[in-house]
Amino acid sequence: MANRLHAVSSPYLRAAAEQPVDWYPWGEEAFARARAEDRPILLDIGAVWCHWCHVMDRESYDNPEIAALINAHFVPVKVDRDERPDVDVRYQQAVGAISGQGGWPLTAFLTPDGRVFFGGTYFPPDGTAGRPGFKQVLGAVAEFYRTKRDQAHGYAKELHETLQRLGDARSSDDTLTPALVDGVAEAIAQAFDSRNGGFGGAPKFPHTGAIELLLRRYDRTGDPGTLLIVTRTLEQMARGGVYDQLGGGFHRYSVDASWTVPHFEKMLYDNAELLRNFAHAYQATGNEALARTARGIVAYVAETLADPAAGGFYTSQDADISLHDDGDYYTWTREEAAAVLPADEFEVARLAYHLDGRGEMHHDPRRHVLFVAADTDAIAATLGRPPADVARLLDRAAARLRDARARRPAPFVDRTIYAAWNGMMISAFLEAARALGDGAVRDTALRALERVVREAYDPGRGFRHAAGAAAGAGLLDDQVHMARALLDAFEHTGQARYLRIAEDTANYLLAAFVTPAGAFYDAVGGAAEAPGLRVPYVPVQDTPTPAGNAVAVLVLDRLSALTGHGRYRDAAERALRACAPAAAEHGLFAATLAYALDVHLDPPLHVVVVGTADDPRAQALHAAALAAYRPGAIVHRYDPGAAAGALPEAAAAAGVDAAVPRAYVCSASACAPPATDPEALSATIRAFGREAAA
């Protein structure tokens, strides 16, 4: 029997359309039935890329016996966490408060008004190893609600009130000082895994905000220990199985501390922020291995997650082909590799990727995750061959394995175009274009930007959550990440339209999302749409995408510099006063907030290139300004005849003459002498202000 999920837009929900569970999508219809029949709601939150969501679907929701139990006692509601992150984050908090854990699938039991009284994550169908089975849980919860209804409502009300109290930010009179940034940096250093790179133990996730903060600190201090944390982390990730050694791009996280065995889903947001990390680390070090990984991310995204027809970036690629495998598309048996490689290439690949002995996959020990187990020089010494020959053989072997893998059925790609995650990748592609000097990467980013503006932007109302969505306000992340991408595009092109849309989006942000304390809610008005758990949420942690409040501060400070409007910097200051004191508490997870505070306290260089758009001398200065590395530097293309934005005071005082293109490099209080030579401009960007800092 088909349920109500056939016509929905979410591929995660549509995949459940033939399940025997009488699913409702999120909305008033389900809650109205629950109220009318006084039934508890079973809420399942997951995603199309989520391995354990597929497992629970197969084991429980496809099971007629379990479905009959659900249909008899509950109103079942299924939610796509990518489509409704505002719903997800609130129920993650509630279930986490009850069970001490969160994640997907999220399984919550709600009163008819949407408040949680019990929950967990994955439940096996039958009890095992002390863990209750889903049948047992369903029966017990149904009986509890039937016989102790008032107690269930009492639990739910108490939890709701607690979350309501904790959900809002409070303004602080504490002085915003570098000590707050130092505290987060110290927490990051303490969490560093010096052996494997990254932070903490298993499972191990990327912490991209931490890398950006450390790169900025290294640029200022030159401290080799700070750089070591960055390079060790990025190099070990790139060598591990968490990086797709054949197809490029990163999987979501590693189940072990050594980055070897990943959860195989690939997310747009992870690859966006990791691309930013690798591009910036390459600029800071000149290490070509980092550039190769950045190019690998770009190649994967361009081939698999970019819409070749209309532009824009897709959401994710699933971990699995079917409900019965675990990353089999990406893994290899020794025999599979030997079947597609000549003997000399196989011998090199065997040593490089550790295709010997027992594989890493528990469900099938024959299967190996490809990771870099030995470098070219070591393989050359083992085989007694020149390193150049070994490198050539390995390149050929990787190409053959990649071609053979391409003939396998590929994991599903969710082709939804979400504004926030597109903003992240557009921004990252533009940063990579600067670092790699690749015009095609820039063009792909600008094409994606045009798609999202065309299909998701409403003047005066900012960005909707998904491109093409007919209704519904966008979320904080949609506004701030797209505004950041628009400012990046303005820096690259000088087109006033991008700055104008970014400013309009920021004005909507300030009108619709501000808390009484000056921070920003994740959703318009401070809560997810009714029905449901209406509690405020002020995002300050990177979980795992950069915290919305941190990116808002970065956007507002940058807009203030570009437009000369102090109200944006004032708004950034208020947001920081409401959020920054939490940085010490959250440590590693507040890295982007600490980065935003650092930028606010020590504004980046503002590079203004003055000259007409068609003047090749001005174009050369603009290209040099974009290519020069100085973390956070703002590049402003200023055509006096069609001026967009405002000049820094020191540059304006010097006067502008479009007939003689020149570039000004300005700090918050001074400008260097104007430059007319691209090489001199690059040197000034790298050096200006450092003597004072020293």
Please write the tens of the pLDDT for every residue from 291-333: 999 999 999 999 999 999 999 999 999 998 887 788 899 999 9
Query: Does one domain contain both 67 and 132?
Result: yes
What is the CATH classification number for the domain harbouring 151? 3.40.30.10
Confirm whether 439 is domain-assigned.
no
Closest of 388, 362, 364 to residue 376, by C-alpha: 388
Give the span between the Cα atoms of 419 and 427, in whole angstroms: 12
Per the rule left: phi > 0, alpha: psi between -120 and 50, beta: everything else, 376 is: alpha
Q: Tell me, what's the pLDDT at 660?
A: 87
Query: Does one domain contain both 68 and 153?
Result: yes
Give the span between the Cα atoms of 495 and 223, in whole angstroms: 38
Q: In the chain, pLDDT over 70 holds for what percent of residues?
A: 96
Q: Out of 113-117, 126-130, 596-600, which region has the weakest mean confidence (pLDDT)?
A: 126-130
Instruction: Give, in order, the Cα–Cα distances in Å from 399 to each of 60, 242, 319, 476.
Output: 40, 19, 22, 42
* pLDDT per residue as tens digits for the range 133-187: 999 999 999 999 999 999 999 999 999 888 887 776 666 667 799 999 999 999 9
* pLDDT per residue as tens digits for the range 661-692: 999 999 888 889 999 999 999 999 999 987 54
Provide the pLDDT confidence category of residue 654 given band limits of 50, 70 and 90. Answer: low
Confirm whether 267 is domain-assigned.
yes
Give the span between the Cα atoms of 139 and 158, in whole angstroms: 24
Query: Does one domain contain both 229 and 370?
Result: yes
C-beta of residue 58 within 8 angstroms of C-beta of residue 16: no
Closest of 106, 115, 82 to residue 8, by C-alpha: 82
Confirm whether 185 is domain-assigned.
no
Task: Kindly tell me the burial class for residue 36, based on how many C-beta atoms sit within 10 Å of its own C-beta (0-12, 13-18, 19 or more).
Answer: exposed
* pLDDT per residue as tens digits for the range 336-378: 999 999 999 999 999 999 999 999 998 899 999 999 999 999 9
Domain that holds residue 680: 604-694
Q: Tell me, what's the pLDDT at 693?
A: 46
Cβ-based neighbour number of residue 409 at 10 Å: 9
Query: Does one domain contain both 92 and 204?
Result: no
What is the CATH classification number for the domain harbouring 654? 3.40.30
Query: Does one domain contain both 43 and 106?
Result: yes
Query: Does one domain contain both 377 and 281?
Result: yes
Residue 469 pLDDT exceeds 90: no
Q: Which residue has the higher pLDDT, 99 or 598?
A: 598
Quote the tokens at residue 410: 């590929």
Buried residues in 594-623 as b, exposed as e (16+ CB within 10 A): bbbbbbbebbbbbbbbbbeeebebbbbbbb
Which residue among 388, 414, 440 closes a domain?
Answer: 414
The number of residues in the chain equals: 694
Confirm whether 83 is domain-assigned.
yes
Who contacts 334 (Cβ-Cβ below 8 Å, separation ≥6)?
Answer: 350, 355, 356, 366, 368
Report which residue type is found at 451: R
Confirm whether 303 is domain-assigned.
yes
Give the span between the Cα atoms of 255 and 258, in whole angstroms: 9
Q: Tell me, what's the pLDDT at 45?
A: 98
Query: Does one domain contain both 212 and 332?
Result: yes
Q: In the chain, pLDDT over 90 holds for what percent of residues?
A: 85
Confirm whether 447 is domain-assigned.
no
C-beta of residue 260 within 8 angstroms of C-beta of residue 241: yes
Query: Does one domain contain both 138 and 233?
Result: no
Residue 470 pLDDT exceeds 60: no
* pLDDT per residue as tens digits for the range 496-526: 999 999 999 999 999 999 999 999 999 998 7
Query: Does one domain contain both 341 and 205?
Result: yes
Query: Across 154-168, 440-454, 471-485, which has the greatest mean pLDDT?
Result: 440-454
Per the rule left: phi > 0, alpha: psi between -120 and 50, beta: everything else, 287 is: beta
* pLDDT per residue as tens digits for the range 521-574: 999 987 656 577 788 999 999 988 999 999 999 999 999 999 999 999 999 999
Closest of 449, 514, 527 to residue 483, by C-alpha: 449
Closest of 1, 95, 101, 83 to residue 42, by C-alpha: 95
Q: Tell me, what's the pLDDT at 645?
A: 82
Query: Does one domain contain both 125 and 222?
Result: no
Stretch 468-483: mean pLDDT: 87
């009108």: which residue's tokens? 511
Tally of domains within the chain: 3
Which residue among 397, 414, 431 closes a domain?
Answer: 414
Query: Does one domain contain both 276 and 337?
Result: yes
Q: Tell me, what's the pLDDT at 237?
A: 98
Query: Does one domain contain both 219 and 325?
Result: yes
Residue 657 pLDDT exceeds 80: no
The predicted model scores a pTM of 0.96
Confirm whether 534 is domain-assigned.
no
Confirm whether 226 is domain-assigned.
yes
Residue 1 pLDDT exceeds 60: no
Which residue among 115, 146, 167 closes a domain?
Answer: 167
């260097």: which residue's tokens? 672
Kindly report the average pLDDT of the chain as a whole number.
93
Give the span between the Cα atoms of 31 and 76, in whole angstroms: 10
Residue 471 pLDDT exceeds 70: no
Residue 409 pLDDT exceeds 80: yes
